[in-house]
Amino acid sequence: MQYRVVAFLLFAALPGTVHAAITDGMAAQTGQAATGGQYNQQFQEWMQRAEAGDARSQFNVGLMYEGGFGVKQDFAEALRWYRLAAAQQHADAERSLGLMLEFGRGGERNAVEAARYYTLSAQHGNAKAAFNLGNCYRLGVGVDRNDAEAVRWYRIAAEGGEIDGQVAVGVMYGLGRGVARDIVEAAKWYRIAAEGGDPRAQFNLGLSHERGEGVQQDFGAAMRWYRAAAEQGDATGLRAVGVMYALGRGVTRDPAEAVRWYALAAEKGDPIAQFNLAAAFETGRGAETNPAQAVHWYRKAGEQGIANAQYNLGVAYEAGTLGVTKDLAESLRWFGKAAEQGDVAAMNKMASFYEAGVGVDRNLEQAARWFGLAAGRGDLFALERLGDVLWAMGDFDDAREAWRRAGGMTTEQAALARLQRKQHAGLEVTATVN
C-alpha cells in the first residue's frame, strides 16, 4: 500500500523572546568562567558596591541572585536589585527587569511594564531590548500588535549588531509583514546573520539559494548553508541536507545518505524529518523496510501536527497494515486529526466512515458535513457523494443541487472526479518528502 510523503517546507520562524543567558552574562561581567568559590567572592565585592549605590554592581548582584551564582537563587531579590539599577537608567538592568516582568519571575507577570522597560532599555542603546520590544509589537505583548513597529525595533536591534534582530528583519521582509515584501532585502539580512553564525539564518539563506528567491538559484550554495546550519545541530538544517541528498540538488542523489540526515533531525524533534524517515522505512527508499519504525515515526510526526502522517496512520489502522492491528476507531481518530487541518482526502474518509457507521455510530448529518467541507475545497468526488447523502437524508432539493453542480462539470473535471472516485474507493495517494 502506498502512502503520502510531505513537501519540504520553510519554517521561517521568527526568533522568540528568550530569557537572559545568565551564565553568559556572568562570564561577560567577570571576564572568565568563574568557579563557585570565585562567584562567592565576586558576589561579596559587588554587594558592597551595590549597597553603596553603584548601578552596575546592583545589576550584577541581580544577575547572581537570578542565576544562583555565589548565593542562593532568589528571583524576588534579583527583581529588587534590577529595579534599583534600572532606576539609575542602567540599560542591561532595564532589559533584565523587562524579562523578569514578562515571564513573571520574582513576582506577578506584567506584560505592560515589561514592554515599558524594554522600551527604556532600547532607548538607552540596548540592542537586545530592541529585539525584545520588536517581539512585543509583533505578538501584542503589553502593547497593541503592530507589525510596522515590530520591524522598526527589529531593525534598530539588527543595526546594533543583535543577530536575533537581523534574522527577524529578514523574516519580516520575506513574509511582507509590517513592510512591503522584498526577498532581496530578506536575503541580505539572512546573509548578515548567517555569516555571523546564526543557524536559522543559514537555513533561510540556504532556502533562498535553493529557490532562487532574492539571490541567484544555486543548489551548491544552498547545500553549503544548509550544512553550516546542520553542523551546529540545527534540526531544520539537518533535515534540509537530507532533502538535498534525496533530490540530488548540489550533491549526487543518495537516498541512504538522505535517511541518515533525516534520522539526525528526527531525533531532535523535527516533525517533517520524522515524517520523511517514516516514509523511508515504509517504502524502503534509502533504508530497509521496517513497518514498526514507520509507524513509530509517523506517530511522532502526527502528534506534532503533520497531516500527512496522521492520514497515513488512518490508512494503516483502517487496513491493518504496517504491522498494526486493524482498528477502525483508531483509524477514524487519525483521519479526524488530519481532516481538522483541512486534509481533503481525510475529510472524505471521515464522511465515508460516518455514512457507513464504520468505527463510529452511523450519522448522516456528520457524513454530509464532511463531504460538504471537502466539496467546498473543490473535491468533485465529495460534491457528488454529498448529493447521495443528502438524498438519503430526505433533503431532495439540496441533493439535486449538489448533483446539478457535479453534473455541470467539464470533461476534464469529470475525468478528475472519476480519478478521485477510484482513489477514495481504496487506492491511497503517494507522497515523498521534499
The string of DSSP codes covering 195-217 is HTT-HHHHHHHHHHHHHTSSS--
Q: How far is Cα 226 from Cα 23, in angstroms, rounded to an integer?
A: 29
Question: pTM surpassing 0.85?
Answer: no
Per-residue pLDDT of 251-261, as tens digits, reads 999 999 999 99
| 350 contacts 384 by C-beta, under 8 angstroms | no
What pLDDT was estimated at residue 38?
A: 79
Does residue 431 register a pLDDT over 50?
Answer: no
Is the Cα dihedral 270, 275, 278, 280 positive or negative? Answer: negative
Per-residue pLDDT of 149-197, as tens digits, reads 999 999 999 999 999 999 999 999 999 999 999 999 999 999 999 999 9
What pLDDT was estimated at residue 21?
A: 41
Count of C-beta atoms within a 10 Å radius of residue 54: 17
- Is residue 172 included in any domain, yes or no? no
Q: Report the pLDDT averaged over residues 37-63.
A: 92
Q: How far is Cα 217 from Cα 209, in angstroms, rounded to an integer?
A: 5
Higher per-residue pLDDT: 377 or 20: 377
Q: Compute CA 207 distance to the chain's CA centroid, rounded to the nearest angstrom.
A: 16
Domain that holds residue 311: 305-434
Q: How far is Cα 294 from Cα 249, in angstroms, rounded to an integer?
A: 25
- Is residue 186 included in any domain, yes or no? no
- Is residue 255 included in any domain, yes or no? no
- Is residue 80 included in any domain, yes or no? no
DSSP 31: S
Q: How far is Cα 268 from Cα 189, in angstroms, rounded to an integer?
A: 27
- Is residue 66 included in any domain, yes or no? no
Q: What is the DSSP string of 240-303?
A: HHHHHHHHTSSS---HHHHHHHHHHHHHTT-HHHHHHHHHHHHHTSSS---HHHHHHHHHHHHH
Q: How far is Cα 215 from Cα 196, in angstroms, rounded to an integer?
A: 19
Does residue 44 register a pLDDT over 70?
Answer: yes
What pLDDT was estimated at residue 128?
A: 97
Does residue 294 register a pLDDT over 50?
Answer: yes
| 228 contacts 194 by C-beta, under 8 angstroms | yes
Helices (H) and strands (E) in the chain, counts: 23, 0
Per-residue pLDDT of 195-227, as tens digits, reads 999 999 999 999 999 999 999 999 999 999 999
What pLDDT was estimated at residue 31?
A: 46
| 406 contacts 383 by C-beta, under 8 angstroms | yes
Q: Residue holding cell 520590544? A: 133
How many residues in total does the chain contain? Answer: 434
Count of C-beta atoms within a 10 Å radius of residue 139: 15
Q: Quick one: which of 243, 252, 205, 247 has its CA closest to 224?
A: 205
- Is residue 248 included in any domain, yes or no? no
Cell numbers placing 10:
520553510
Does residue 18 register a pLDDT over 90?
Answer: no
Residues 6+ apart with CB under 8 A from 200: 13, 15, 167, 193, 229, 234, 236
- Is residue 134 included in any domain, yes or no? no
Quick one: which H or E segment has residue 43? helix 36-51
110-116: long-range pairs with CB below 8 Å, 24+: 110/142, 111/136, 111/141, 111/142, 112/142, 112/143, 113/142, 114/141, 114/142, 115/141, 115/142, 115/143, 116/142
3-state secondary structure of 427: coil
Q: Compute CA 250 distance to the chain's CA centroid, rounded to the nearest angstrom.
A: 26
**What is the 3 state secondary structure string of 138-199?**
HHCCCCCCCHHHHHHHHHHHHHCCCHHHHHHHHHHHHHCCCCCCCHHHHHHHHHHHHHCCCH
What pLDDT was estimated at residue 225?
A: 98
- Provide the number of structural domains found in the chain: 1
CATH classification of the domain holding 315: 1.25.40.10
- Is residue 179 included in any domain, yes or no? no
What pLDDT was estimated at residue 429?
A: 31
